[in-house]
Chain A
């Protein structure tokens, strides 16, 4: 039999055939008959009363068909919408805007240009209000209150772990380091922005929503819930997520534009398209990070003992984070990382400011990046304080392989790991000792070279139904597989690829389980009318959840296939042996039936009393999360004249358990690393004191090009997840989580002898040069 190319094969991607020909079908490629275009007028102020909207100024523009304001929506009880974190968020303001670039009105017109003209022509009168931008200021008594419907700017306090025990343990430490750090606002900036086409059919009371969404099924339910009072029902809502030009978490939320296009379609009776510009995308869509962390880490006799993190989280004007409902700070309590330490306590206080809402992913779910940044920076500092090399210090303090499954001080059960092996491999690959020698030599010559390590532990695959839900919906995911009579198959999933290559990797899992080659399996996702319900693709959850469902559904099919094979071979079921792609009778390998023979029989010659067909469905509830890990080593050179940090080499050893398609895994890591160095060196969405955004377009928000991106050097170790059906763990986000502290540690390492102990990110040339200058180390001419 031809090899079926299941797990471990770098099968070329099925989706590429259309993409390389320009035949992908992205949101802006969808054009329906009679379609109208929607554009959005936005606020120039970060905080202001709207005294009047002169709708006539937009209506006077040629081609403008309708203007929708907050007052229009209020009539339908749609001016506000709920967020995932039990807060609410405006679709359009009825009277007050809360951040710059906030949606103020929607203009619907017969063409894209006319809609933009209408938005530009719309006159709005504002009364500016005082602005609060800094979350620390926002917490002070007498601060400008951001939300009229709330008592104060303090949204929530969340804490986890043993506060007293941690304080006591820190008091007993012989070495304690403390450091404040800010992980600034950043934006995923997928190259395709967000958009939708809403098509309301008044006769059938049916809504079709083409949407750039990573979670089509959940969106359908949310739409049904928030529009029930208008008569919409879930069976009359079809969400279609077409090809998506990158998501990274930015396409999880429901944006006002989606609701506006839907409302506009209902009002006009025509399909309505809304696709945002890049600047709108950066200025108004959900942001990531914005955690102000105060970290304390202590050791006793060289052993890491206690960790404390106190955190101010800037959420903007609404808590619209995308977390599982029971986790207001996501999985931040993975903060003990790869280290065996007994005492830990983390706290987070959420704060309102006059900025856009968010708190979503930037290729990392649930605040894991923030946690990893904190622990990996602190471990480095503590190692130095102990007078030890950061690599040796890590190797001594890692959780040991024999300690798995490992119960962390903050309550997680790590499934599997071998942290020392990954770090040692990375050190070998980069030639760690030689680099240290070179560094000493260069330092003597006045050159700035640094080596930084990050040994991260990720936590992905949300999640087990006992703790993980979004608005009550459990975080399972699904696979439905049907084998056709000729032995070909179709498989549908509750997830949605945004470039990860699901059409290929899911087919490989099924190929492995059933022996049907990947090219014979059609994989579909993203249409809520056809795919089984699932919570979607984010948080590196597709492989741990839907991938597992693919295995389980395949195994159900195999069980039925066994019965059919027994019938065809006139043998006892118990005497049949499965080898990839066929059953044979024990002891006589020639008496065999292939899965293709069996599929045909399932429709033509199935046993009496058995239902015809060969298909199965699985809604997989993972028993635990998975814990991918890795060790990264970054080597930088710093230009004393310009402050520019150049990454000379970057070695990344990842362990994501069993690899389905090594080529795709490497691609995920390459991309993840690039989105790891980006916030470390380049990207930040910042605001001035009046709440004006100062990084709201691609000229100021610097996404790495091929010039800033180094040639990534990858290595791997494989420690399977013991509870996942194929031992896989998920990999999409690991590199983005692990990379930033490696770069920071490298830069601090380069400057350590000057007395530098910390660097905030992004480490732009200006910031680095200022630090050099302060320490008398900037080159002058």
Chain B
């Protein structure tokens, strides 16, 4: 199996490692770096539990080779708050947007990217935006509310 040296910046910190060509980014993050907040929920790129931000864009890290992330900037749930809590994390807590918490990291990163692009999304836009992430617990209503709350908080922050 061929191996390659890669450097990936994760949550602002650069990591250089020798990896197998076939190593998936999600395993690089979870097993090599021990950042276990990124989860795995399927084997067909369907659930979004593994979602991270790859150069700011949501990506299902189970379907990206680690070598393909060479030189990239990756944000995982561990880097979302940057010390404190990101408005999305606050929104999910306040609005009961999570139950078992397994889909939550992926759901929050997708939501963050959505809000970065569209700070004031409608309910329909939120539902469409998170439709690549499955949640089996919440029935989505409170996730929608959580994203709306996060949108409010982000506006308050930028106004304040």
A binding-site residues for B, Cβ under 8 Å: 12-13, 15-26, 28-29, 31, 112-113, 188-193, 243-246, 248, 277-279, 498-501, 663-664, 666-667, 669-675, 697-699, 703, 705-707, 709, 711-712
B47 lies within 8 A of A706 (CB) = no
Q: With A190-B100, A698-B44 known to touch, is A703 a contact of B134 (CB < 8 Å)?
A: yes
Q: Which residue of B lies closest to A675 (CB)?
A: B136
* Neighbour of A498 across the interface among B41, B100, B103, CB < 8 A: B100
B96 part of interface (Cβ distance < 8 Å): yes
Top 7 nearest A-B pairs by Cβ distance? A22-B37, A245-B102, A499-B100, A19-B101, A670-B139, A22-B77, A698-B46
A736 to chain B, nearest CB (A): 11
B37 lies within 8 A of A21 (CB) = yes
B binding-site residues for A, Cβ under 8 Å: 20, 22-23, 27, 30-31, 34-44, 46-47, 49, 76-78, 80-81, 85, 89, 92-94, 96, 98-105, 108, 123, 126-128, 130-144
Q: Which residues of chain B are near A112, meaning CB under 8 Å?
A: 27, 31
Q: Which residues of chain B are near A28, meaning CB under 8 Å?
A: 30, 36, 39-40
Q: Which residues of chain A are near B138, meaning CB under 8 Å?
A: 667, 670-671, 674
Q: Which residue of B lies closest to A18 (CB)?
A: B101
A245 lies within 8 A of B100 (CB) = yes
A21, A666, A703, most chain B CB atoms within 10 A: A21
B136 lies within 8 A of A246 (CB) = yes
Q: With A112-B31, A193-B41, A278-B47 known to touch, is A667 a contact of B36 (CB < 8 Å)?
A: no
What's the Cα separation between A672 and B138 when bound, in Å? 8
Q: Which residue of B lies closest to A22 (CB)?
A: B37
Q: Which residues of chain B are near A23, meaning CB under 8 Å?
A: 37
B47 lies within 8 A of A191 (CB) = yes
A301 to chain B, nearest CB (A): 41
Q: Which residues of chain B are near A193, meaning CB under 8 Å?
A: 41
B76 to chain A, nearest CB (A): 7
A667 lies within 8 A of B142 (CB) = yes
Q: With A667-B142, A697-B43 known to touch, is A192 a contact of B77 (CB < 8 Å)?
A: no
Q: Is the interface of B mostly helix, strand, loop or mixed?
A: loop
What's the Cα separation between A706 and B139 when bound, in Å? 8
Could you pull out 14 A-B pairs where Cβ atoms are within 8 angstroms? A22-B37, A25-B36, A191-B47, A192-B41, A192-B102, A277-B42, A499-B101, A499-B137, A667-B139, A670-B138, A675-B136, A697-B44, A698-B43, A706-B130
What's the Cα separation between A13 and B42 when bound, in Å? 27
A245 lies within 8 A of B101 (CB) = yes
B131 lies within 8 A of A279 (CB) = no
A22 lies within 8 A of B38 (CB) = yes
What's the Cα separation between A248 and B39 when bound, in Å? 19
What's the Cα separation between A499 and B96 when bound, in Å? 11
B41 lies within 8 A of A22 (CB) = no
A21 lies within 8 A of B78 (CB) = yes
What's the Cα separation between A672 and B135 when bound, in Å? 12
B6 to chain A, nearest CB (A): 17
What's the Cα separation between A28 and B142 when bound, in Å? 27
* Neighbour of A21 across the interface among B22, B44, B77, CB < 8 A: B77
B99 to chain A, nearest CB (A): 4
Q: Which residues of chain A are near B27, meaning CB under 8 Å?
A: 112
Q: Which residues of chain B are near A26, meaning CB under 8 Å?
A: 36, 39, 102
* Neighbour of A500 across the interface among B35, B39, B94, B99, CB < 8 A: B99
A191 lies within 8 A of B98 (CB) = no
B101 lies within 8 A of A243 (CB) = yes
Q: Which residue of B lies closest to A668 (CB)?
A: B99
A20 lies within 8 A of B89 (CB) = yes
Q: Which residues of chain A are near B102, meaning CB under 8 Å?
A: 24, 26, 190-192, 245-246, 499
A31, A248, A675, A706, most chain B CB atoms within 10 A: A706
Q: Which residues of chain B are near A29, meaning CB under 8 Å?
A: 30, 36
Q: Which residue of B lies closest to A698 (CB)?
A: B46
Q: Which residue of B lies closest to A363 (CB)?
A: B136
